[in-house]
Structure 1
Amino acid sequence: MTRTIVQLTSNNNLEFFFRQTPQGDGVWEDTQFNLVNGRYHADWLIAYDEPNKICETDLPKARRILFRTEPKSIKYYSSDFLNQFGAVVSIDENSSFDGQTILSQVALPWMYGLDFERPEEAYTWDALAADKAIPQKGELSVVCSTKNMNVNQSRRLRFLTMLKEALGDRMTMYGRGFRPIADKREAIDGYRYHLVLENNLLADGWTEKLADPILGGVFPISAGSPNLGDYFNPEGFASIDITKPRQAVAQVLDILDRDIAAEAVEVMKENKQRLMQQHNFFSLCSRVIKTIEASQGGRDIQRLESAYSFRPNRMPKWKKLGSVPKPLRPLSRKIYLSLFERQ
């Protein structure tokens, strides 16, 4: 069988991504993914967030795909940078991009079972797939940092404060600024429920924050993407709207008191299967490639005569000058929330 060869490149370390393939070797069905940051002869190039600064390719733009891993509210991507790619996978549109935008979750890497200081002990595919029987140590957990870079990060911190006041010891808080952890398993294993607080509320904007409790077999209560039902069976999770914080607090209390997880065991297993087989990074990449190939009519690769080096992603000076000064941003978001989201 002839395999499609994909060059995977990034400005981040992606070596731990490969545990999301059954043999840990980057093979997904008929596609071989190789993490190569230099020059490499492949059928497709996929850049995750940004290509590595030493990355070169002989592939035409039509064979280059960018996973834009952050929404526009978190990270700026210049048109000069984006238009080096034929397709962009992202959760929101960018009007300055003239290629094909594929709106989708962007398959951020799973953190469950991964300690960066002891990568040799990371959970492999089989360990991630296995059912877990872990003694209960708490009712509800949450992992959240004190980052305050956009409106929803301010919103979720406000909600977390309100929920902690209502729940007290029924909720355990983890993350930078609360209780640091090396492996997300510490904050998931042994809990009945896990609160998922995403950075944004956009459609398709779910991340590893949702994937990790699904892998751990813990019932997720999600404040984030409104269309999770497009990806998972809705009986295996609960959604809350933290733009209405008082109502969301009441909803969490009701979920815990009724213990809806008790009736969702089999559906949660189904959602875990969907996550690992359909919404895995490698599965998503394979589908994106097949979609683009079908639209191109299976044309042969017209390789470049000389290697192409990528231009970096830079924010123009005029945009920096026109933005709200950093020290004032948290205050402006706090005022907005207090005026418009008080329910």
Structure 2
Amino acid sequence: MTRKIVQLTSNNNLEFFFRQTPKGDGIWGDNQFDLVDGRHHADWLVAYDEPNKICETDLPRERRILFRTEPKSIKYYSADFLNQFGAVVSIDDNPSFDGQTILSQVALPWMYGLDFERPQEAYQWDALAADRAVPHKGELSVVCSTKNMNINQSRRIRFLSMLKEALGDRITLYGRGFRPIADKREAIDGYRYHLVLENNLLKDGWTEKLADPILGGVFPISAGSPNLGDYFNPEGFASIDITKPRQAVAKVLDILDRDLAMKAGAAMKENKQRLMQQNNFFSLCSRVIETIETRQGDGDFQRLERAFSFCPNRVPKWKKLCSVPKPLRPVSRKMYLSLFERQ
């Protein structure tokens, strides 16, 4: 069988990404994903977040795909940068892009079972797929940083403070600013529930924050994407709305007291299977490629004799001038939440 070669490039270290393929070799179906920078003979170029600065390709634009890993509220992507690609996979639209936008979750890499200081010990495919029995540590855990870069990060910090006050020792806080960890397993294994606080509340905007407890076999309580039921069995997780923080605190208490996880075992196993086989980056990317190829037809494409040029994502001056000054942003967000989200 002749496999298509997919050149995978990023400004981030993606070497650990390949543990999300069954043999750790980057093969998924008919596609061979190669993590190569410089010029590489390939059928497709896939950039994850941004290409490496030394990335080159002679592929035409219609054979270049960008996975935009952050929403616009977190990271600005310039039109010049985006328009080097024929298709962009993202959770929100960008009117300045004139190619094909595929609205979807962007399959951020799983962090469960990965310690960056000891990558040789990272869980591989079989270990991730296995069921594990671990000693009980607590009822509910959460991993959250004290970052305050957008409105939802401010929102989740406020909610977490309210929830901690209500639950006390029933919840354990991990993450930068709380209890640092090297591997997400430390904050997931041994707990019955895991609170998922996403950076955004956009449709399709779920991330590894949800994937990690699913891999760990822990019942997720998610504050984030409103359409998780499009991806997973709803009986295997619960959703809360932290724009109504008091109601969300009450719902978490109700979930714990009724112990929804007790009857959710089959659905949680199904969701783990869906995550690994359908909502994995390599599976998603392969489907995107197949969709584009079906639209383009089976004809040969013409290679271009020019290199891919990296374009930095500089925020335009007008956008900087119109934005709230950085020192005032946390105060303005706190004021907004106190005035309009008090339920």
* TM-score normalised per structure 2: 0.99
Letter paired with 1:124: Q
Structure 2 SS opposite 1:192: strand
Structure 2 SS opposite 1:128: helix
State the alpha-carbon separation in 1 of the partners of residues 172 and 90 from structure 2. 32
Alignment of 1:330 onto 2:330? yes
Corresponding position of 1:339: 339
Corresponding position of 1:143: 143
Residues 197-230 of structure 1 deviation map (CA, whole Å, 9 limit, x = unaligned):
0000000000000000000000000000000000
State the alpha-carbon separation in 2 of the partners of residues 133 and 2 from structure 1. 41
Structure 2 SS opposite 1:56: coil
Matches within 5 A, 1:23-172: 23-172=23-172
Residues 11-54 of structure 1 deviation map (CA, whole Å, 9 limit, x = unaligned):
11000100000000100011100001211110000000001111
Contact 1:53 1:312 in 2 (8 A): no
State the alpha-carbon separation in 2 of the partners of residues 306 and 330 from structure 1. 45
Alignment of 1:244 onto 2:235? no
Alignment of 1:284 onto 2:284? yes
Contact 1:49 1:68 in 2 (8 A): yes
Residues 97-143 of structure 1 deviation map (CA, whole Å, 9 limit, x = unaligned):
00000000000000000000000000000000000111211000000
Deviation at 1:315, TM superposition (A): 1.5
Matches within 5 A, 1:185-224: 185-224=185-224
Residues 286-327 of structure 1 deviation map (CA, whole Å, 9 limit, x = unaligned):
000000001111231210023232322221222222211111
State the alpha-carbon separation in 2 of the partners of residues 213 and 303 from structure 1. 43
Q: Percent identical across equivalent pairs?
A: 87
Corresponding position of 1:312: 312
State the alpha-carbon separation in 2 of the partners of residues 75 and 311 from structure 1. 15
Residues 233-285 of structure 1 deviation map (CA, whole Å, 9 limit, x = unaligned):
00000000000000000000000000010000111000000000000000000
Letter paired with 1:134: V
State the alpha-carbon separation in 2 of the partners of residues 142 and 298 from structure 1. 48
* TM-score normalised per structure 1: 0.99
Structure 1 SS opposite 2:254: helix
Letter paired with 1:112: Y
**Structure 2 unaligned regions, length at least 5:** none
Corresponding position of 1:269: 269
State the alpha-carbon separation in 2 of the partners of residues 146 and 284 from structure 1. 31
User: Which ranges of 4 or more aligned residues in structure 1 deviate by more than 6 Å?
Assistant: none
State the alpha-carbon separation in 2 of the partners of residues 74 and 121 from structure 1. 32
Structure 2 SS opposite 1:136: coil
Q: How many residue pairs are counted as aligned between the two chains?
A: 343
State the alpha-carbon separation in 2 of the partners of residues 306 and 198 from structure 1. 40
State the alpha-carbon separation in 1 of the partners of residues 299 and 336 from structure 2. 51
Corresponding position of 1:175: 175
Corresponding position of 1:7: 7
Letter paired with 2:53: K
Structure 1 SS opposite 2:284: helix
State the alpha-carbon separation in 1 of the partners of residues 340 and 67 from structure 2. 33
